Amino acid sequence: MVEYALDLENAVRYAGKWAYGRNPAFYDFDGLGGDCTNFISQCILAAGAPMNYTKDTGWYYVSLSNRAAAWTGVEFFYRFMMNNTGVGPFGREVPLADIRVGDVVQLGTEDRFYHSLLVVDMRAGQPCVAAHTADVYNRPLYSYMFDLARVLRIDRARK
């Protein structure tokens, strides 16, 4: 297997193109609990990450009925990205103080994490994000109400 850096500028460009729309190649999950992690997965794919087609535990999308839970589920996405040792993207959690463009942020409560966003800009040291479900681009992260935030740096992949 070869390990390589993802092109996070492409992820940000993709987010800019599709933040207020839906890529017809992917199902819109707004009516099924939200489209946020689906959108973030698309951004990571646009950065050059290959899909991992491992049944049940991979990270892939073929269709609504043929996809991994990690493609669309907040917690499944986190577990895959933090633990993947095979083909596909992987990352690590970094402190909120170290956040940068291209990072994925997941917001949560004491009970669960519920929303995924992509950092697309830093303005005066403050992260601005793109997301689906409530579609936004360049929204300040700290304009959200949340109890917890974790930052995932997904900047490498294997093929």
Q: What is the dihedral of CA 35, 40, 42, 45, to 10 degrees?
A: -160
CATH number at residue 144: 3.90.1720
pTM: 0.97
Boundaries of domain holding 72: 3-158
pLDDT per residue over 27-79, tens digit each? 999 989 899 999 999 999 999 999 999 998 999 999 999 999 999 999 999 99
Number of domains in the chain: 1
- Residue 125: CB atoms within 10 Å: 6
Answer whether residue 115 shows pLDDT above 90.
Answer: yes
Q: Which pLDDT belongs to residue 33?
A: 87
Q: Which pLDDT belongs to residue 28?
A: 96
